[in-house]
Structure 1
Amino acid sequence: MSFKFCTNESAATHLRAILRGDVARIRGISSFPNSSEDAISYLAGVNDGQLQRPPGGSTVIARTEMTSALLAAGYSVIESDHPKYALARVFQDLLDIQAEAAVHPSAVIGPDVMIGDGVSIGPGSVLDGEIALGNRVRIGANNVITGKVVVEEFVRIRNGCVIGEDAYSFGFAPDGPGHGQSIRFPSRGRVVIESHAEIGNNCVISRGIEADTILRTWSRVNDLSHIGNTVELGQNSMVMANCDISARVRIGKGCWIAQSSAILQGISVGDGAQVGMGAVVTRDVPAGKVVTGVPARVHRDRLLD
């Protein structure tokens, strides 16, 4: 991986944090303890073990209580209460070399698609419908975006997703002639993906039948997950890999929906709640609670920093 160069001093200034120790160049990222010269790492907790002297120019982002020990071992220290987040910001804002914004020649763009400034669209992607892409949106390879879709600024959609297809909702024939037939019900809602959201690989997000399917700002959906029609995923909430969120589910702010869980139609998940791995949620989840199991039941309060 290639990096832009900066110094630990400029990184600390960017984070509005305090740098302790020597000014050093940052040429790459390392896990802790640092394994290469001029690299930056993070230390999430308190390390009570003996610290070895690191390679030259090593910087670590750590909590204030670790500063003295790290300085004695030979590190420069950027102090932060949230070291992992701080390192992610340094990478995103100062070190990451992003490809020049462009629409790949193999992408198919329909006549009604509106594209903002600095948008990237990868090879094999098809965008066809009433679609609006905000500034600096990044869309990977082999995505299909169709129907009515709004993608706000700084959204990242990775590879192989299908976004905006009609809801999987049917009208069924009554008993008698034609019994067993089903006809797909028309969808008239949109998919709205608010700013700074991120969609992982091979996700499916259906548009609403009447109202919109909405992913709020800074929300996250990981690989292979399905978001059904008219779902609302709250600000800063995360849906992990291989989850199934059924129609009309409401997920509040700051929630964590763990891997391979399923939430039945019409359920509400309160702000700050957590759904455990593999859980099947069949009733509303109170705010701030952790639910686990099949069917999911309240396990404990969610503990947050």
Structure 2
Amino acid sequence: MSYQAHPTAIVDDGARVGDGTRIWHWTHVSAGAEIGADCSLGQNVYVGGKAVVGRGVKIQNNVSIYDSVTLADDVFCGPSVVFTNVVNPRGHVSRKHAYRPTTVGRGASLGANATIVCGHSIGEYAMIGAGAVVTRDVPAYALMVGVPARRVGWVCRCGEKLPAGDAPRCADCGSGYRIEAGQCHFQETDPA
């Protein structure tokens, strides 16, 4: 098996693209980029040569994954998500040596038009609301909204908001969690 690319897509020699990945209209994957298996890259997506995209990642239309951005397995990037890689850009000053890494943990979801300022990490299964601007690290399972993004709750691996409390259980899938010292930890799945 191999990947599929629309005739208008450009996949440079030296890019590594996993089996089963689909690359749609007007997308550019640069030489050196790493894209895992079973991904979907929508229309007008750009992937830089030093970007890493894990397995099963969904990248919607108009998203640029610049150098120094790493997306773990099963990440979802909504339409027009913005990543940066320099905190103080100037058109007349080259800052390629100053790229700051950004990592997005397994299963995290980034809503449409969210902006992720470089140099931060987003924890696994976190959910960033549409239009939010992430300016600091985000803990696992955090539900973040606003400008700048702030935590307004916790979310389950299945994407549902968790009820308040120190030991919430997802009403949808039954998964259990433990909230401790400002962090959310997966506990178990309800055997019922």
State the distance in 2 between where 1:152 and 1:146 align: 14
Q: Does 1:276 find its partner at 2:125? A: no
What is residue 30 of structure 2 aligned with on the other side? Answer: 164
Contact 1:258 1:275 in 2 (8 A): yes
Partner of 2:37: 195
**1:205, CA displacement in angstroms?**
1.2
Counterpart residue number, 1:265: 118
SS in 1 for 2:15: strand
Aligned to 2:162: none
Structure 2 residue ranges without an equivalent (≥5): 86-100, 159-172, 174-192
Distance in 2 separating the partners of 1:227 and 1:197: 14
Amino acid across the alignment from 1:202: N
Among candidates 125, 128, 142, match of residue 8 of structure 2 = 142
| Amino acid paired to 1:280 | V
Determine helix, strand or coil for the equivalent of 1:250.
strand
> 1:261-293 CA distances to partner (integer Å, 9 max, x unpaired)?
010111100001000000010000000001100
The letter of the residue matching 1:139 is: A
1:1-305 aligned at under 5 Å gives the runs 135-146=1-12, 148-164=14-30, 190-208=32-50, 213-247=51-85, 248-303=101-156, 304=158, 305=173
Deviations 1:63-83 (A, max 9, x none): xxxxxxxxxxxxxxxxxxxxx
Q: CA deviation at 1:146?
A: 2.2
Shift of 1:147: 5.5
What TM-score results when the alignment is normalised by the length of structure 2?
Answer: 0.71
Q: List per-residue Cα deviations over 1:176-230 (Å, max 9, x = no partner).
A: xxxxxxxxxxxxxx2101111110011111112xxxx111010110001111112
Secondary structure of the 1:232 match is: strand
Identity of aligned residues (%): 22
Following superposition, the deviation at residue 246 of structure 1 comes to 2.3
**Alignment: residue pair count:** 143
SS at match of 2:14: strand
Larger radius of gyration: 1
Deviation string, structure 1 residues 135-159 (Cα, Å, up to 9, x no partner): 3311013112225310111111011
Where do 5+ consecutive residues of structure 1 fail to align? 1-134, 166-189
Hey, what's the Cα distance between the residues in 2 that align with 1:261 and 1:255?
Answer: 13
Aligned-partner Cα distance in 2 for 1:226–1:200: 11
C-alpha distance in structure 2 between counterparts of 1:147 and 1:226, whole Å: 19
Q: Secondary structure at the match of 2:143?
A: strand
